[in-house]
Amino acid sequence: MKLMRLGPVGAERPVVRVDDTSYVDVSDAVTDYDEAFFGSSGLERVRMLVAERTAIGRVHTFAGERIGAPIARPHQILCIGLNYSDHAAETGQPVPDEPILFTKSPNTIVGPYDDVRIPRTSTKTDWEVELGIVIGRRTSYLDSVDEAREAIAGFVLVNDVSERAFQTERSGQWSKGKSAETFNPAGPWLVTPDEIDDVLSLGMWLDVNGVSRQRGSTATMVFDPYFIVHYLSQFMVLEPGDLIDTGTPPGVGLGLDPPVFLAAGDVMELGIDGLGTQRQTVIAPR
């Protein structure tokens, strides 16, 4: 299944994408794609509901509505740094022995076509196409990597927008450079694991103003999604609906020579095989 949320900011309703032109509305049976939904076998209920409604023709046509993030604001957004060997190389840093963990504020999440706002005083706002993991059940102390597969509700395309000066030049944790408003576009849909043949062979790309910047594949991940979920479960409780951003391939602005960063008016376009595409216009600070 491909879960989506349509409608104005703060009033999105849950739907399920059928194909490029149509969807099934499930908002009469599901309040939202949130912690309560994922934690109460919501995916199974919706799967049956969609089968029933498509069989009787209760299918709607997309009509230009805003597409929101495919999940409601999560309990937490966890991020893995330097998780692509070729990205670590472009930044001049060693490949980590264990996952590097940092967080983003949950209120950074926006829709895949919403604007991205540069923070005040920013000089180094950057882009990062990433694979996101959405947790499907309350999870802690998983016994094995294989068990982690059962804890994943699905995968989603995300843009881990970053302010590099805040991240690396202002002391402390990376979260300062990751948590500005609009810094986590997500979607257009959440794809359940059964629809992805191999999550470790997905092509990834990102362009800025039509110029190719990132080209990569999940095949070069240092730590795969199942390892990451198992690993994190040893340190914290993962809640249903939590989002994990799993790192980016090479081609970020910081890694270019000379570095290139975003300015108001720039347009980012990005995608991952099977997870759809995004497009964001960069806007000036408030």
What pTM was estimated for this model as a whole? 0.96
CA–CA distance, 108 with 130 (Å, rounded to integer): 15
H helical segments located in 134-283: 145-149, 164-168, 225-233
What pLDDT tens digit does each residue of the chain (286 aa) get? 999 999 999 999 999 999 999 999 999 999 999 999 999 999 999 999 999 999 999 999 999 999 999 999 999 999 999 899 877 777 777 888 999 999 999 999 999 999 999 999 999 999 999 999 999 999 999 999 999 999 999 999 999 999 999 998 888 778 999 999 999 999 999 999 999 999 999 999 999 999 999 999 999 999 999 999 999 999 999 999 999 999 999 999 999 999 999 999 999 999 999 999 999 999 999 9
Classify domain 71-283 by CATH number.
3.90.850.10
Instruction: Pick the closest to residue 221 from 91, 95, 94, 77 (CA basis).
Output: 95
Phi, psi (deg, nearest 5) at residue 68: -90, 175
Both tokens of 272, joined, read: 């991952």
Q: How many helices (H) and strands (E) does the chain have?
A: 6, 19
The full set of domain ranges for the chain reads 2-67, 71-283
Provide the pLDDT for residue 95.
83
